[in-house]
Chain A
Amino acid sequence: ILNVEQSPQSLHVQEGDSTNFTCSFPSSNFYALHWYRWETAKSPEALFVMTLNGDEKKKGRISATLNTKEGYSYLYIKGSQPEDSATYLCAFPSGTYKYIFGTGTRLKVLA
Chain B
Amino acid sequence: GAVVSQHPSRVICKSGTSVKIECRSLDFQATTMFWYRQFPKQSLMLMATSNEGSKATYEQGVEKDKFLINHASLTLSTLTVTSAHPEDSSFYICSAILTSGGRGETQYFGPGTRLLVL
Binding site for B on A (CB under 8 A): 4, 31-32, 34, 36, 41-44, 46, 49, 51, 89, 91, 93, 95-104
29 contacts between A and B (CB under 8 A): A31-B102, A31-B103, A31-B104, A34-B106, A34-B107, A41-B9, A42-B111, A43-B108, A43-B109, A43-B111, A43-B112, A46-B107, A46-B108, A49-B104, A49-B106, A89-B43, A89-B44, A93-B102, A93-B103, A96-B103, A97-B32, A97-B97, A97-B102, A97-B103, A98-B49, A99-B46, A99-B107, A101-B43, A102-B43
Chain A contact residues: helix, strand, loop or mixed: loop
| B54 touches A (CB below 8 Å) | no
* A32:B104 contact, CB within 8 angstroms: yes
B4 within 8 A of A: yes
> Residues of B at under 8 Å CB distance from A?
4, 9, 32, 34, 41-46, 49, 59, 93, 97, 102-104, 106-112
**In whole angstroms, what is the CA distance A102 to B104 when docked?**
17
What is the predominant secondary structure among interface residues of chain B facing chain A? Answer: loop
Is the pair A32, B42 in contact by a Cβ cutoff of 8 Å? no
Alpha-carbon gap, A46 to B95, bound state (A): 12
Which residue of chain B has its CB nearest to the CB of A34? Answer: B106
A27 to chain B, nearest CB (A): 16
The residue in chain B whose Cβ has the minimal distance to the Cβ of A46 is: B106
| Interface pair B106/A41, CB less than 8 Å apart | no
A49 to B93, CA, bound (A): 20
Residue of B with least CB distance to A39: B111
- 11 other A-B residue contacts (CB within 8 Å) besides A31-B104, A49-B106, A102-B43: A32-B103, A42-B111, A43-B111, A44-B93, A46-B106, A46-B108, A49-B104, A91-B107, A97-B32, A101-B45, A103-B43
